Amino acid sequence: MNKKLLYLFLFILAGCNESKKKSPAVFFSGEIVNPTSKHVVLYKGDVVIDSSSLDENNMFAFKLDSIEDGLYHFNHSPELQYVYLEKGDSLLIRLNTADFDESLVFSGSGEEINNFMVEMYLACESEEKLINEYYSLVPKDFIRKIDSLQQMKIDLLDNLKVESALSVKESEIAEANIVYYYATFKEMYPFKHRKYSEKKAIPKLSKDFYAYRKNLTYGKKDFTYLRPYYEYMTYHFGNLAYMSCSSNCNIKDKMVKNHLHFNKHKLKLIDSLVEETELKDNLFRNVALGYLLKVRDTEENNQIFIRVFRALSGNNRHIEEINDTYEGIRNIQPNKKIPNVQVINLIGEKMSLQQIAENKKVVFYFWSSTYKKHFNDISKRVVQLSKQKPEYTFVGISVQANDNEWKNLVETAGLDSTNQYKTENFDTLNKALIIYPMNKCIITDNALIVDAFANMYYSF
């Protein structure tokens, strides 16, 4: 669509009266300055609703014949942001990827709630350094400071309700976005206070410290993919499990060191308290991936954990991902052969990881063309380590790049082209090698795994 005509079209739609807004159709369009991808993808939860290619003017457009009112998000890789849509909305955005969130502006029918959500996000982001300073305060002073910040945002929302006719659902989403954001800091307080205070101990809390929990819910489906709500739940269950284990559980080690016990406890708390199915599944996933990927427990303990997980959440919507992660980790334990995954070198030849690692010590590291800073940093680190550790061959695997971009990046970074490969299928590679985090590397000796969870910056 011609750029000027699109703006005119949306301007007319934005001026429509309230009766016309009752139409079930939704228009969501916009312009992206300095695009980082060729597409914009619209999601409801984790389900793709539609995608739109950018035209020659970097414009995208969605026309949705009928939708469920509520919170969506749009992705312009690698960034994403909320958009609240109701039947009859005609919404236009403009943003510059050089300053994604700060430049995002909504206009048209539905602009009020969306601009408010962006403003709250930016305002809260600017407060984080200040809140870190509050953690050393005694509990009642900390609560007073946090409640004051929250009330300022609630007052702004109340003003918006007076000025704009927000729907009930819009008001609920906007308020939850504020309340759960600040409730998260209260859940974090005991542990942050221990870190920042002189006593280095969990403070004694009065009975009413957690009084705010009485007004919060485990079962609001509309909040499931609201970031502050979900983040609150992850910290909340970590807090509940810690406090419960500290006072009630008969365990040999200190609870914070007994990761298997602690994470089993979190699973059981989530199972007993969370009412909304999708939220429960997502929280179970969070605990499982956090345990499997970050704790790096023994193979025996991993097996015990996955048995408990399957017993409590065997029909979890993420069960395939959890099973793949578990199996992947089990297959890359020390002294096992590195999985025989195929990769491609710069002249188009396919080779297996076992072939590449045979009869030498190899460090496999990973990079993506999407994250240029990471690539630049990791390339400098490889050059440095190649000089310091000549006994190792450093082999790079690109997980996301087209041929020309891949070859150009390798050349400009001054990397040894004979030790550079790319994958044809990231999912296959990731399932086999569990590429998390991106600074991870895999150390092998004659194709046998020495450490599959080494780090390019800390392991040498």
Contact 403, 411 (CB under 8 A): no
Residue 287 host element (H or E): helix 277-290
Instruction: Choose among 116, 119, 125: nearest CA to 173.
Output: 116
Which domains are assigned to the chain? 3-109 (2.60.40.10), 118-330 (no CATH), 342-455 (3.40.30.10)
Q: Which two tokens stand for residue 46?
A: 């984790």
pTM beyond 0.85: the answer is yes
Q: Where are the alpha helices (DSSP H) in 318-371?
A: 319-330, 353-357
Q: Is 288 left (phi over 0), alpha (psi -120 to 50) or beta?
A: alpha
For the chain, residues with pLDDT lower than 70 are: 1-22, 250-257
How many whole angstroms from its chain centre is CA 404? 29
Tally of CA atoms within 13 A in the half-sphere of 144 that contains its CB: 5
Inter-CA distances, 162 with 25, 83, 85, 159, Å: 27, 22, 20, 5
DSSP states of 67-114 as a string? --SEEEEEEETTEEEEEEE-TT-EEEEEEEGGGHHHH-EEEEETHHHH
Helix-, strand-, coil-residue percentages of the chain, each rounded to 5: 50, 20, 25
334 vs 329: CA distance, rounded Å: 10
- DSSP-derived 3-state class of residue 443: strand
- The two structure tokens encoding residue 6: 């699109």
CA atoms within 13 A on the CB side of 130: 10
Predicted confidence at residue 250, as pLDDT, reads 63
